[in-house]
Amino acid sequence: MSEIKINRDENYIYIQKERTRKTENDTEKLDLNFVRAEKKLKLNIKATNKDYYNKIIFLDKISEEEYICVYSEENILYVTIDTIEEIYKELVKVLYKVIKVSLTRKYVKVLFFAYIVNPYKLKIDKITFNIDSKNEKELKLIQRKRKLSKVQLLKSGQLYNVKIKLADLLNSDEAINNYFSTNLKINDVIVPYKMAMKAKKHKKSVYYNLPIKSKYTKNSAVHIRRTIFGNLILVKRPMEYPEQTLKFRILESKLVSFFMYHIGKILAKHQRKNVNIFYEKFASKVEEGVFELFKKCKAESKKSKNYFVIDKNSEDYAKIKNEKNVVKKYSFKYYWLIYKANYFIASEAPSHLNILRSNNKYFRKATYDKKLIFLQHGIIYMKNLGLNSSFKKGKEGESILFLASSEKERDVIVDMLDYSEEEIMKTGLLMYDAIKYKHINEESKDIVTVMLTWKPYEESLFDFKESSYYKYTIDLYNMLKEKIDTKNIRIIPHPKAKAMLMQTDLKDLLWDGKISEVLEETKLLITDYSSICYNAFYQGAGVIFYQPDLEKYEEENGKLIPNDDEYIGYRVLNNNDLEKVLDKIIENKKIKLSEARTKEQEKIYETINEFHDGKNTERVLKKLKEEKII
């Protein structure tokens, strides 16, 4: 009888089928990097001895997180390299059909058929239904060798009705987004299987983000939604101030929203003039140039009605409240205009028009229906946005026109976000019209600004102090305070991390003003992957790219955009190298700008941001007129 023998070294895995008659197909030598890239690779060798059918033939740990596994499906052999959790998911399946999901003031309920396919007879000690790590219900799922047909599944009687107290979920201070999952303890490893619920096919894939059930309870906003793959997610967050007012409750009630949505949709098709809504970050800022464009559009257009939305509680509101067609966020006029608008002209995604992760299905759907002209809030030439960007085709920020600052940036947008070249307008970002070009010099104040990027994959961490964001910020501050006056250190919190940072020992060190204001005086910027580097460099600052988690970051988000020779500053991957660079740039608590930036970096910068003539707004205005949007 034939035998299959397997061994490996640091670079290769060797598979040998030993039998009396030997052929060239009985031996395979595979590069581990090739297997790693393929994830799952079908082998040429086949099992001809039934003892090897549906069997794990080889399983070995090859790094801190990775395992290699050779296994068979019937007589076909496969090899895979992945985490042990993902390998177990490949070998053991949880199959189910969700019948109903409910959300009441007391419970989250799920009614579903389910069973386990475990042909390899792996040891499964515990089976639970989970919404987060603290809320689970034990299940007794039947294990089978083979998959059942849909009819067999329905006849099997394996129907489960699980409910978890909503109060328990709200008391758990874990992630905002919580996947419904079935968790198996396989060989002492907890393996989560996300639970999906199929729905009718939507016209737009972004509609999958819409809440399917929602509730306000105990000062919390809660809703259940699907991902684009149908995976069920419970979204929970503290209610924001507007949601606690009677006016908000009435204007965002299901009945009022339903009628506004459908009436607004009809009006948008038949009104004589385009209704254009302008806004910036969270519809509460006036610092990205959109307001200046709004004023020009309003003054020069007779074919459209133009409005600028801003929160009345914003510190910028008082400056512009007397300008005609400035509309208060959450007013009746605000809702009415948004429901019947034709275009959004903005520097942020439509979600910024309302409360992020809003419970209002109709409002969110209305914003997805509008045509967006995306004016950008930062140059796209740093992070790979293809994996996570809300501006990718088919997502909530899909745009009909997309602003770019150069030919290089246009090519990146086309490649990463699936736009055509004709949909990109090369005009330069609006915000640069209000910024002085290269005004920072050797005599400027010695201000060091730290601004790191929020990592979405850390959003579910229970203890924020365990995040790389917190740890690296602390490391940077401790290193800088030894080299420069602490009064000259500015830490800008990312909006998604600010609330969590305020609960740490960093709270008294955080910059609480406008980002544009701190960048005006920044002489040296330290960031990791933020496009804010281009803003600071434009004004004359030096830049250091601090990237100790580069491998992890690129694994989660994709490869960074700049080539190694396209960085506009020093690039360091560890604290030792960072200290060497800082010692080179900072001397006697003074920043030497001649060391912090070079002529070569300036040449590179001009290929990424081509414009510094202060006429970006005029170019955008011209394009909007050509497209008959204004």
- Structure confidence at residue 174 (pLDDT): 64
Q: Give the model confidence (pLDDT) of 507-522 as tens digits.
A: 778 888 888 899 999 9
Higher-confidence position of 201 and 323: 323
DSSP H helices, 310-396, are 317-320, 332-340, 361-369
- Structure confidence at residue 463 (pLDDT): 63
Name the percent of the chain lying above pLDDT 90: 78
CA distance linking residue 159 with residue 140, whole number of Å = 11
Closest CA to 316 of 326, 306, 301, 324: 326
- Structure confidence at residue 202 (pLDDT): 61
Rg (CA), the chain: 28
- Structure confidence at residue 173 (pLDDT): 66
- Given pLDDT bands bounded at 50, 70 and 90, which one contains residue 462? low
Joined together, the tokens standing for residue 147 give 């998959």
Closest CA to 412 of 393, 385, 373, 375: 385
CA distance linking residue 349 with residue 367, whole number of Å = 9
Mean pLDDT on 611-624: 97
Mean pLDDT on 216-235: 91
Sign of CA dihedral 5, 8, 12, 13: positive
pLDDT at 295 over 60: yes
Closest CA to 105 of 213, 18, 23, 201: 213
Sign of CA dihedral 462, 463, 467, 473: positive
CA distance linking residue 498 with residue 507, whole number of Å = 9
CB 78 within 8 A of CB 58: no
CA distance linking residue 462 with residue 10, whole number of Å = 36
Average pLDDT of the chain to the nearest whole number: 92
Joined together, the tokens standing for residue 269 give 């098709």
- Tell me the sheet residues that pair with 77: 72
- What number of helices (H) and strands (E) belong to the chain? 20, 33
Name the percent of the chain lying above pLDDT 70: 97
Question: Which helix (H) or strand (E) segment is 80 a member of?
Answer: strand 76-82
Q: Give the model confidence (pLDDT) of 30-70 as tens digits.
A: 999 999 988 899 999 999 999 999 999 999 999 988 999 99
Superfamily in which the 438-608 domain is placed by CATH: CDP-glycerol glycerophosphotransferase, C-terminal domain (3.40.50.12580)
- Given pLDDT bands bounded at 50, 70 and 90, which one contains residue 132? confident
Least confident window among 246-255, 421-430, 461-470: 461-470
The CATH class for the domain spanning 240-433 reads alpha beta
- Structure confidence at residue 532 (pLDDT): 93
Closest CA to 89 of 180, 186, 10: 186
Q: What does the domain layout of the chain look like in residue ranges?
A: 3-83, 92-215, 240-433, 438-608
CA 143 to chain centroid = 36
DSSP string for 607-628: HH----SS-HHHHHHHHHHHTT
Strand, helix or coil for residue 290: helix
- Given pLDDT bands bounded at 50, 70 and 90, which one contains residue 158? confident
Please tell me what DSSP assigns to residue 450.
E
- Structure confidence at residue 121 (pLDDT): 93
Residue indicated by tokens 């948004």? 338
Strand, helix or coil for residue 64: coil
Other C-beta atoms lying within 10 Å of the C-beta of residue 426: 16
pLDDT at 456 over 80: no
Mean pLDDT on 147-176: 84
Mean pLDDT on 315-320: 95
CA distance linking residue 343 with residue 91, whole number of Å = 49
Q: Give the model confidence (pLDDT) of 551-580 as tens digits.
A: 988 988 889 999 999 999 999 999 999 999
Phi and psi (nearest 5°) for 45? -65, 135
Sign of CA dihedral 233, 237, 242, 245: positive
CB 409 within 8 A of CB 608: yes
Q: Is the fold of 240-433 the same as that of 438-608? A: yes
Strand, helix or coil for residue 512: coil
Mean pLDDT on 313-331: 96
Q: Give the model confidence (pLDDT) of 338-359 as tens digits.
A: 999 999 999 999 999 999 999 9
Burial class (CB in 10 A: 0-12, 13-18, 19+), 42: exposed
533: Cα within 13 Å, side-chain hemisphere? 30
pLDDT at 7 over 60: yes
Least confident window among 379-393, 496-510, 606-620: 496-510
- Structure confidence at residue 466 (pLDDT): 73
Joined together, the tokens standing for residue 405 give 């600052």
Residue indicated by tokens 């910028």? 316
